[in-house]
Amino acid sequence: MSPTYQHQQPYQDAHDSEEDVPFLPQEHNQIIRHDPSHSQSSTRANGYSGKESVVINGAIRSRLMITLLAMVLAVEVGFVMAGGPMTRIYESIACREYFAQADPTKIGPDRQVPEELCKLKEVQSEIAAVTGYMEFFQGMLSVILAAPYGLLADRYGRKKTLCLGIPGFILNCVIMFVVMWFDDVFPLRATWASCLTFFFGGGPVVTIAVIFTMMADVTTEEERAVMFFRFGVASMAADFVSSAASSWLMTMNPWFPLILGWGIVIVGAFLALLLPETKNAVTPRTFEQSPEMELDPLSSTNEPKISSSSEKFVADPVGDEEGLDIPFLNRPKRRSFFASLATLSRSYLSPYAFIFRTKRVLLLLTAFLVYRLSRGSSWFLVQYISARYNWTIAQANLLISFKPALTIPLFLFIIPYISKHILRGMNSNMKDLTLARASIIFLAVGTLGIGLSPSIAMLIPSLIVQTSGSGFAYLARSLITTLVKREETARLFTVIEVLQAVGNVIASLSITTVFQVGLDWGGAWVGLAWMMTSTAFCLVGVSIWMFELPPAVEKIEEHGD
C-alpha cells in the first residue's frame, strides 16, 4: 500500500459526499476551503490546491478511534476464539482419515476418534501442513495485493478500501465452514481455497495497514506512540478473554466457539461502514503548521505535487491556471509497454525512497522481517503442547490464553515503572531502545526454553520469560517512527506490514517443515522449531544491539528540512 499522508479531497461521486463523513457535523468541525482562483503563491503557501480539507477536533477524532478500536478488537477476538477450535476440528478430520485406512475400528458410531489417539506423528504432521501452507498462501496473496489496494486507498479513500474487504472476510468463513462440515465430501486441504477470498480487499494485512494509516491521518507524532500502546493492551486483553472463553466452549463442542468467533469477525468487518473517510482529514495542529503535501502517483494529475519526502516535486509556476498536466505536456504519443511499466513502477516506488535514506531505518526494518519469521512458531504452539505433553487441545489453548494475561500487567505497570524509575536518566528514545534490547533477550531465552522443556513444569516458566519480551514489536515501531518525517509515517507502516507478510510467507514454509521434521524425529526434537526460532531472535538481537540512535542535532535537521 502507498498510504501517502494526504490532505486532498478524496475522489467524490454523487453518492459519497455525505456518507463518507458521518462523524463530521459542521458544528464540531472546521471546513477549510481554498478558492482555486487564488494565486499560485497562495496555493503554495497554504499547501492546498483548490481542494477541501476537513479539520477534525478532539471529540470527532475520539469517536473515530473508538470505532477503529472496536473493529480491531472484534476481528482480533473472533480469530483468536476460532483458532483453537479450528485446530481441534482439523485434528479430528485428519485423525478420522488416518484411522479409516489404518484401523477403522477406532472410529466410533459418531464418526469421531478419541482425542488421545490423535497425537500420532502422521496426524500431527498433516495438521502442520494444512496450517503452515494456509499461512503461506495467505501471505503470498497479501504481498501481491498490498500494492494495488494501497493505490486504491490513496486515490479513492481508506474507507472504500476497508469496505471492499467485507465480502472477503464473509466468503472466507463460509468456505472454511463448508469444507470442514462436509469433510466426507471435501479433503481437509481444500480449506486452502479460502485464501482466494482475500482477492476482495486484500485480507488482514491490507486491513491492518489501512487502519494504521487512518490512525496516522488524524494523530500527531506525539500521540501516535500512546495510541499504539492502547491498541496493543486492548488487543492482549481481548486475546485473553477470547482464548479462555473458547477453551471453555470447546469442552462442550468445538463448533460453538468456531461459529461464534467467525460471527464476531464478520461483525467487526461491517464496522468499516461506520468509519468516516480520513484521507482528507487533518488535525487542527497539523493545519496550523501548514504541512507540505504529497499526492499519490496515480491521483488526479491536474494538481501540482508538493512533497517533503526525499524526492520533491514542485509545481511549475507557468501556465497552471487551466489545470493542465504540466509534467506530461511533452510526453511522446506512443510508448512501449515496458517503458510505460517502468514509468509506472518508478512513480509508485519513488514515494518509498525515504526508507533508503538512512541505514538506521533499514536496520530496524530488517529486524521487523526476521522478528515476524521468528514468530511463526507461535502458530503451532497449541498443537505442540498437545502433542508433546499429551494434553487436549482445549487444555493447551487455555494455557496459552494466560500469555496475554501476563502481558497486560507487563505493559500497564512493569514497563512504565522501569521506564520511569530505573531508566529515569535517559531520554524517551533511549529508554525505548534499552527496553527493546532487553525484550529481545527475553524472547530468545524464553523461546529456547519452550523448545527444550521436557515437561509442563519447565514449559510454564519459559512461557513467562518469553512473554516478558512481548513488548518488542511496539517498542521497535515507536523507535522507527522517530526516524522518519510525519508525512512518511503512513508509508512506513505499509512497508512494515508488507515485510511482516513476507516474513509470514517464509515462516509458513520453513517452520512447517522444521516442525514436521521434529515430529518425525520424536523425543526432544519435537521442539526443534522453537530452537530454530530462538536462533532467529538472536539475529534480531544483533541488529538491535548494533542500532544507534541518531545525534540530537541530526534528528532536528532531518525533521526540520
Tens digits of residue pLDDT in 492-549:
877 887 787 788 778 777 888 888 898 888 888 989 989 998 998 898 888 888 888 8
Q: Which range (168-177, 211-220, 413-422, 542-551) has the least confidence?
A: 211-220
**pLDDT for res 154:** 74
- If you average pLDDT over residues 279-293, what whole number do you get? 48
Architecture of domain 59-279+355-560: Up-down Bundle (1.20)
Output the DSSP codes for 422-440: ITTTS-HHHHHHHHHHHHH
**pLDDT for res 55:** 53
What is the 3 state secondary structure string of 303-351? CCCCCCCCCCCCCCCCCCCCCCCHHHCCCCCCCCHHHHHHHHHHHHHHH
pLDDT in tens, 470-495: 888 878 888 887 888 766 766 787 78
Q: For the chain, report the end-to-end CA distance as a whole number of angstroms.
A: 26
Query: By percentage, how much of the chain surpasses pLDDT 70?
Result: 72
Query: By percentage, how much of the chain surpasses pLDDT 90?
Result: 17
**pLDDT for res 222:** 58
- If you average pLDDT over residues 184-201, what whole number do you get? 91
- Residue count (the chain): 561
Per-residue DSSP letter, 236? H
**pLDDT for res 193:** 93
Q: Which residue has the cell 522443556?
A: 453
**Mean pLDDT of all residues belonging to the chain:** 74
pLDDT in tens, 59-96: 667 778 888 888 888 888 898 899 889 989 999 999 99
Q: Cβ(277)–Cβ(20) under 8 Å?
A: yes
**pLDDT for res 147:** 73
Query: In Å, what is the CA distance from 506 to each residue of 139, 171, 224, 515, 535?
Result: 9, 26, 30, 14, 15
Alpha-carbon dihedral angle through residues 301, 207, 490, 540, given to the nearest 10 degrees: -140
The larger pLDDT score, comparing residue 129 to residue 152, is at 129
